[in-house]
Amino acid sequence: MKVRKAVIPAAGLGTRMLPATKTIPKEMLPLVDKPVIQYVIEEAVASGIEDILIVTNRAKSAMDDYFDYHPELEERLLRDNKTKEAELVRMSADLANIFYVRQKETKGLGHAIWRAKRFVGDEPFAVLLGDDIMMAKTPVTKQIIDAAEKHGASAVGVQTVPDEHISKYSSVKVSPLEERVYRVSDMNEKPTPAEKFSNYAILGRYVLTPDIFDILENTPPGYGGEIQLTDGLKTLCKQSPMVAVDFEGRRYDTGNLKGFMEAIIDYALASDEIGPWLKQFIVDKARQF
């Protein structure tokens, strides 16, 4: 089992980030000096992925434009001796082989993944949600791929979340397999603390086998009237092996304002260019409280 392809669903409406996302896709919002989606693509590439499909929609063409060349801009930058800027502009277009497919109706994450069927063909593939970014020493997708390849299984990235937040996620039923890796036998979407299987919640990274497509095709709309990936995964984990990887790293949900602000601050603090300045700014600010 070798994972070479990734699918990035990025066709959600982004209603939690309005009005900013009325005309700008949430995946294109700048996180320090790059759009959110570039971090996701870079994680996939650093995990050994060669081909990437972004599931997009009619309001999100800014993403395809971003990963294209911009000859006039590059020419102008080179003419003005702004070599570094010209390289940065070119680099984002050369990160990977990026393909696009549109989700014509916003029918849920499961439906968005199903749109990748032709691209994926008959091999296992990684899924990275386009608004979830991960700060980690070893790329989180690589951690998930390594476990999937080792166990010949599909895999989901999980971390523990407290009871008061579990209803925002999918909770998995697990039994221990090895350090940080568990066998998954069931799951449920957005459970109450009484309904949860465990406090392990699925957080935005997966490796799936192509059997998921037939399952999704036969999955009726679930929570919120949408075709839920979790409902498909629930079937998948019962018919073939699936592992949960308690990954090392910090996950940021940039699709909501608090997660986005946390990511901006942490990524800016980690930046050589503006980190030291921001630290001083925060210290000075804190003195005023």
Q: Is 11 in the site for ligand UTP (CB under 6 A)?
A: yes
Q: Of 114 and 182, which CB lies nearer to ligand UTP in the complex structure?
A: 114
Site residues (CB under 6 A) for ligand UTP, limited to 47-66? 55
Q: Is 44 in the site for ligand UTP (CB under 6 A)?
A: no
Which span (13-21, 61-69, 135-143, 177-185) binds ligand UTP, by CB under 6 A? 13-21
- Torsion sign across C-alpha atoms 56, 5, 68, 74: positive
CA dist 201 and 192 (Å) reads 13
The residue number whose beta carbon is nearest to ligand UTP equals 12
Q: Is 112 in the site for ligand UTP (CB under 6 A)?
A: yes
Q: Of 55 and 148, which CB lies nearer to ligand UTP in the complex structure?
A: 55
Residue 27: its H or E element: none
Q: Is 108 in the site for ligand UTP (CB under 6 A)?
A: yes
> Residue 9 has which token pair?
């669903």
Work out which of 70, 82, 107, 150 binds ligand UTP, going by CB under 6 A: 107
- List Cβ neighbours of 6 (8 Å cut-off, separation of 6 or more): 44, 49, 51, 52, 53, 125, 126, 127, 128, 141
Which span (61-69, 91-99, 104-112, 215-223) binds ligand UTP, by CB under 6 A? 104-112
- List Cβ neighbours of 274 (8 Å cut-off, separation of 6 or more): 32, 268
Distances (CA, A) of 99 to 50, 105, 108, 126: 11, 19, 20, 15
Residues of the shown chain interacting with ligand UTP in the complex, contacts defined by CB under 6 A: 9-16, 55, 103, 106-109, 111-112, 129-131, 255
